[in-house]
Chains A and B, each alone.
Chain A
Amino acid sequence: MIARDRLSKLTSNLVLLAIGILFVLPLLWVLFASINRTAGLRVEFPTDPTLGNFKAVLNTDTTYRPVLNGIVLCGGSALLTMVCAVLAAYPLSRFKSRFNRPFLLTVLFCTGLPITAVMVPVYGLFVQLNLVDTIGGTIMFMATSSLPFAIWLTKTFMDGVPISLEEAAWVDGATNMRALKSIVLPLMWPGIAVVLIFTFIGMWGNFFVPFMLLLSPERLPASVSIFTFFGQYGEPNYGQLAAYSLIYTTPVLLLYLLLSKKLGGAFALGGAIKG
């Protein structure tokens, strides 16, 4: 029995390790190519490693401005999402109302709608409202598209904060918004951080929405400019593409590390999703 157990543990480890290696393999290319002067599509460790690719892409047009645009766009949208989600989650979590259930069901239903499909009519709507190629309009749409999921998650986290503390505050005459700000939010900040960071990561990688709604090269975030710089004119410079990919990916990797080290975020998220 024990021998069999050990054998099955060993098999589990080996199978897992094999899958892990399969997941790592595509990543090797980007690491090697970024420091290779003459990178192609083949995975090979450069004979003469260089930082030249990074130097070549670190300039305003290629890196700094798109990354800054991305921070403004995704940061703004994530903040707007979070503010609306917290405000909406409070009454949903705290007060019983006939309105709650249908609203939450609608929110859940919206999380399922394919945002991609909405993009053509959204473009039409943006033309009518004169919002095409504006950062503000794009921020509002991006915030809205992640709002249903954010409301759902935030409400789940808020439900975990006991209501008794607020009841005491209400008796002392605090308003709801005050109770939310000084009692509920401080107690659920890890949940807030999880939702905020996940919203940001999702937006940082989102290609289609800014690709459709923004036109001017000087407004494009990194997710789109990587495509326009490297994808459109024949054979790209693979070394620079790899270097740029790494720079562009770094912020979300750091955020993810923060999330998993400090907050146990991924597993909290998994728990919240499964309902």
Chain B
Amino acid sequence: MTTSVAAATAPSGKPGRSGKPRAANLLKMLPLSPAIGLMLVFLAGPIIYCIYAAFTNMALTGTGAANVTFVGLDNFRKAFGSSAFSNAIWLTLLFTLLSAIIGQNTLGLGLALLMRRANKLVRNFVGTAVIGAWVLPEVVAAYLLSAFFNDEGTLNVMLHAVGLPGQDWLYAAPIIAVSLANIWRGTAFSMLVYSAALSEIPKEIEESAEMDGAAGSKRLVWVTLPMISRAVLTNLMLITLQTLSVFGLIYAMTRGGPGTKSQTLPLYMYEQAFSFSQIGYGTAIALVMLAIGAVFSLIYLRGLNSEAA
């Protein structure tokens, strides 16, 4: 709080008058300080703390609570040797692949493409429905979809109607159910990004491709997609990162169960750190997640950079 007060009352330098360029430059940058202060304390702070705690036996109860000691790489050895951890990694990959990379991305692009050819009424209806699912609070979405996938839920009613057998999807195929839930909830984001990208393609380019006789699918692959390649990359990275951190949706739908059948990495981390009070081990898992996030984030940055250059 002190930083924001200081910055609000501090005099700000006048630009373009460089008596003392250094001091003037610093003054010009002063309005950045509240943001930097907050991010140092509440973002950089926890990350540094995470790097420290991941190498200790810190815990909420037991020996690790009384005196915290360094245990080196023990937490990571424990993680990579544990079947629950590899189960969580595998489920996280599956969840991300199914719901983000295949589901949201493809469906979002498809919706954006179709919407350009649809009439206004249909476009508005579909846009509202898809965005409505996105605006809905996480836990509400989770309850809605729990009801949808339940034994007597809408999905089974529909399946029965066409003569297919139903089942309780949250028990039989929990990871599929939460992936579909995440597609339902998250597709709007990809749709918006792709709609914005497509709207910037000059009409003439597509028209001339059509004149030259390029068929729909050919036009998509050779003309449209290359024109929006940057949006595709940005979108893939952002939704992957969002999907890696999904917690509330899965927690409220299945709590990671039955057993550990839908326990993705965030849920495993939560269980270890808080249900089992192993803060040290929990932060080690958090560090693994941060590392995965950092790698994706860096790829995304590089992509943006090379496109801009």
Q: Which residues of A contact B (CB under 8 A)?
A: 8-9, 12-13, 15-17, 19-21, 23-30, 33, 40-43, 80, 83-85, 87-88, 90-92, 94-95, 97, 99, 103, 105, 108-125, 136, 140-141, 143-145, 147-148, 151, 170, 175-177, 201, 204-208, 211, 222-223, 226-227, 230-231, 238, 241, 245, 248-249, 252-253, 256, 260, 266-267, 269-271, 273-275
Contacts and interface: CB of A to CB of B under 8 A. Distances in A.
A91 B304 contact: no
A128 to B, nearest CB: 8
B109 to A, nearest CB: 13
A13 B31 CA distance: 50
| Chain A interface, >50% SS class | helix
B93 interface: no
Given A43-B157, A205-B137, A116 B247 contact: yes
14 contacts: A23-B126, A25-B154, A27-B133, A41-B146, A111-B238, A112-B238, A113-B241, A113-B294, A118-B43, A241-B143, A253-B132, A260-B131, A266-B192, A267-B192
A141 B150 CA distance: 36
Contacts of B296: 112
B135 interface: yes
B35 interface: yes
Given A9-B117, A84-B4, A274-B197, A117 B34 contact: no
B131 A87 contact: no
Contact of B137 (A21, A95, A175, A223): A223
Contact of B42 (A144, A204, A223, A238): A144
Interface stretch (B44-52, B70-78, B79-87): B44-52
Contacts of A16: 111, 114-115, 118, 122-123, 126
Contacts of B41: 140, 144
| Chain B interface, >50% SS class | helix
B173 interface: no
B49 A40 contact: no
B111 to A, nearest CB: 7
A82 to B, nearest CB: 11
A17 B7 CA distance: 52
B224 interface: no
Contacts of A136: 1
Contacts of A143: 38
B145 A26 contact: yes
Contact of B46 (A84, A121, A208): A121
Of B129, B133, B184, B287, most A-chain CB atoms within 10 Å: B129
A251 to B, nearest CB: 10
B220 interface: no
B231 interface: yes
Of A23, A143, A175, A245, most B-chain CB atoms within 10 Å: A23
A83 B289 contact: no
A170 B32 CA distance: 20
A125 B231 CA distance: 37
B29 A27 contact: no
B11 interface: yes
Contacts of A231: 139, 252
A43 B158 CA distance: 11
Contacts of A13: 117-119, 122
